[in-house]
Structure 1
Amino acid sequence: MSTPLTAMSLPVHSDGIQLCLAELLHYKDQAVRWLPPAQSVWSHLQGQHSSKQKGRGMNFAEVRPYQAGDDIRAIDWRVTARTGKPHTKLFTEEREQPVMLLVDMSNSMQFGSQLLLKSVQAAHFASLISWLTIKAQDRIGALVYNGSALHELKPAGRQQGALRVINQLIASQQHALLNAQQTPTSDNSSVPAIAFSETLRHLSHLCPKGSDIILISDFHTLSENDKRVLSQLRHHNRIQFVQITDPLEQGVTDFRGTEYVADGDQSVWLDFSADHTRAQFLSLYQQQQQMLKAFTNKLAIPLYTLSAAMPLLQQLGQNKG
């Protein structure tokens, strides 16, 4: 875990490593900037992978005889054929659209080389989405994943829904930091890891149909085996991927010394003054990006990227004040 932070650039109330209530409450007042008719958060995150965003869906209400001016695309051809007279379907707009977050705070997210840990940036974005959801009078829920435990928050409305999410984010980050400081022993190394695929299966049981599902992760452990679960989730829900990255993952760093690096499974000395070391980082990053983009393209899932090296609101093109 490498975290040389630039204090003058840190978001309000943040130290880039810990999470506190004040820094996540800050997004409560910021969320109003993305309520209609303003541009959505997603329009500010459009990148190499863009996709038309769906609004609220439409629920079927009834069938009645066709009337002049009705949209011919809504004609119910089965009823028309059965009765011999044209009939049209009527729909009502969905009044509530639950939003479900899957927030990854596992070991690979406890990393940051410049400004924030990736897990902290994930929490900032999750907080913004939570407050935006509540201000839109929808319900917010979450599944917070730390690699060894899942914390389930069923969708809830009003301020209580958002507060439950951000309090769990704070608790999960504290737990992750404590684990990172501990030396592996027979006691804590025996805690079974939870696969990302298992988290997705749990999410599929937790989500109400018609949910807007947002996965916030670095997606380092996403695999081809996860396509089936995500494809099933897409049948009745909208899914979006938000990838959290760090510049060092691309070999971008001003550091030119030698550093001891460990990821929990293995450790090694790396010479960052060598061009080939930074090139290896970039090559691995590009391979992962190719896999992730092919994965999301195959399932028609929008993919957005946020950097842990820049404050969230700055990336969204908004002033902090």
Structure 2
Amino acid sequence: MDIKDIIKKVKQIEIRTKKKSEATLMGQYHSAFKGQGMTFSEVRPYQFGDEIRRIDWNKTARFREPFVKVMEEERELTMMLLVDISASMDYGTKTQLKREFVAEICASLGFSAAGNNDKVGLILFADKVYKVIPPQKGRKHILAIISNILTSEYVPAESKIDEALQFMMSVFQKKSMAFIFSDFEDSYDLKILRVASKKHQLLGMRVFDDKDNEIPDIGYALFHDAETGKQVWANTSNSRWRYNYAEHQKKKIKEVTEDFENSSASFMNINTGEDYSKFLYQYFRKR
């Protein structure tokens, strides 16, 4: 894509996702991710019904009338978007590539966070961390994140979620909401996932294409692994071969889902082109 196409694409995503985030996600986002605690705001005269434990005894003694401390919720949170840019994410057989679909979901999350004055950061990874955009606030920052997801060079290498999680834990000490976008085709270190879920609030989002789960009958075909470069011929007309492939994928997805749930993290599967807002809405409600 040239620069004009990129700008047009980002603008289209902004228009679509801002409507979604404002209409369905923002309210649930705000109620789901409440502040990390309470902070002192001001002191005012006591009013009937105020809690006794809020009385500021020093000021009360000084002015000989009761005063109370007013506390407010610490609203500012940090959202981290961890996006897999291995070559298998630059693929799609329907209306969208996986990377385009991920950019749209990130935009919805980003605009929901921006509407609550929260910071949003981005980590692009494959076999290692390739780019980091530190957490900031505002619309322009969200647009820059969308642009980076769309325009980054997708890497012919196996994705290592461990690398991204370790980097996030070492650089961002404050507890964050971390959304991991990948097709989860590659293995990962379960211990690191468990440690990361204790430090941060994790949601794994498997973005997949129909052909990731099932291979159609197209006769003999040469399959090319975009990440490892390996090639293999297969007879897709063989119903047993297609069945074994589909069962292998189901087993893998089940194992990843259980790994996340057993690590006190969340996980969801979203097909490209699917209405992702309903999945996020349900996730926010559960929080």
Partner of 2:284: none
Partner of 1:103: 83
Matches within 5 A, 1:60-209: 60-61=38-39, 92-172=72-152, 175-176=153-154, 195-207=160-172, 209=174
Q: 1:69 deviation in Å?
A: 5.7
Moved over 6 A (4+): none
Q: 1:208 deviation in Å?
A: 5.4
Unaligned runs of 5+ in 1: 1-13, 44-52, 76-87, 181-191
Unaligned runs of 5+ in 2: 55-67, 279-287
Partner of 1:275: 239
Q: 1:148 deviation in Å?
A: 4.7
Residues 1:241 and 1:35: Cα distance change in structure 2 (over 3 Å): same
Q: 1:214 deviation in Å?
A: 1.0
Q: 1:315 deviation in Å?
A: 4.8
**In the alignment, does 2:3 pair up with 1:23?**
no
Q: 1:213 deviation in Å?
A: 1.3
- Which of the numbers 226, 232, 241 marks the counterpart of 2:192? 226
Whether contact under 8 Å (2:82, 2:179) holds in the other structure is: yes
Q: 1:286 deviation in Å?
A: 1.1
Whether contact under 8 Å (1:105, 1:147) holds in the other structure is: no
- Which of the numbers 198, 214, 223 marks the counterpart of 2:179? 214
- Which of the numbers 23, 37, 50 marks the counterpart of 1:59? 37
Cα RMSD of the aligned pairs, angstroms, is 3.4
Between the two proteins, what is the percent identity of the paired residues? 18
Partner of 2:219: 257
TM-score w.r.t. length of structure 2: 0.73
Whether contact under 8 Å (2:26, 2:112) holds in the other structure is: no
Amino acid at match of 1:122: V
- Which of the numbers 24, 38, 46 marks the counterpart of 1:39? 24
**3-state SS of 1:241 partner:** strand
Whether contact under 8 Å (1:257, 1:271) holds in the other structure is: yes
**3-state SS of 1:213 partner:** strand
TM-score w.r.t. length of structure 1: 0.66
- Which of the numbers 269, 274, 283 marks the counterpart of 1:305? 269
Residues 1:30 and 1:70: Cα distance change in structure 2 (over 3 Å): farther
Q: 1:129 deviation in Å?
A: 2.0
**3-state SS of 2:131 partner:** strand
Residues 1:262 and 1:35: Cα distance change in structure 2 (over 3 Å): closer
Residues 1:249 and 1:70: Cα distance change in structure 2 (over 3 Å): farther
**Structure (1/2) with the larger helix percentage:** 2
Amino acid at match of 1:196: I
> How many residues in Structure 1 have an aligned counterpart in Structure 2?
253
Cα deviation code 1:245-276 (max 9, x no counterpart):
121222153x4222211212521112222212
Whether contact under 8 Å (2:127, 2:158) holds in the other structure is: yes
CA distance in 2, matches of 1:105, 1:61: 39
